[in-house]
């Protein structure tokens, strides 16, 4: 065996993933009917809901973040950016690209309130 032969060979245990849903060291779960059902339930039971479409990242697929008037929020995976905007249009919810506009301050305020409430009750 030559000096550089060991660098040319690939170890058997480090074969690359052949699965298209694998990114980095995590597996991305595809959106399913439960995700859609949850989003529909959130939209129909809250008022003042806005949608924020979050692009695919190294660790997650495209997600739709829904934020109600009081800052309550939910986030679920969706099949595509186009699907997310179509879902929002169908439910008469304004939708924005989160990469462009960011997330609303009322969501951060809601998270802060919930965190303070949990500290007070402990």
Tell which wins on pLDDT, 15 or 100: 100
CB 64 within 8 A of CB 40: no
What is the CA angle 98-34-60, rounded to 5? 40
CB 52 within 8 A of CB 103: yes
pLDDT of residue 7: 59
Q: How many helices (H) and strands (E) does the chain have?
A: 5, 6
Confidence of residue 19 (pLDDT cuts 50, 70, 90): very low
- For 108, list phi and psi in degrees, rounded to 5: -65, -40
């Amino acid at each position: 065996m030559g000096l550089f032969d060991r660098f040319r060979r690939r170890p058997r245990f480090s074969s690359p993933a052949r699965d298209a849903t694998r990114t980095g060291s995590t597996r991305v779960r595809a959106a399913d009917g439960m995700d859609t059902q949850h989003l529909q339930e959130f939209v129909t039971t809250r008022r003042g809901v806005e949608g924020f479409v979050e692009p695919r990242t190294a660790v997650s697929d495209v997600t739709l973040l829904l934020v109600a008037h009081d800052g309550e929020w939910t986030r679920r995976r969706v099949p595509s950016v186009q699907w997310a905007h179509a879902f929002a249009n169908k439910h008469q919810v304004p939708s924005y690209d989160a990469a462009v506009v960011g997330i609303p301050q009322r969501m951060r305020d809601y998270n802060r309130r919930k965190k303070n409430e949990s500290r007070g009750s402990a």
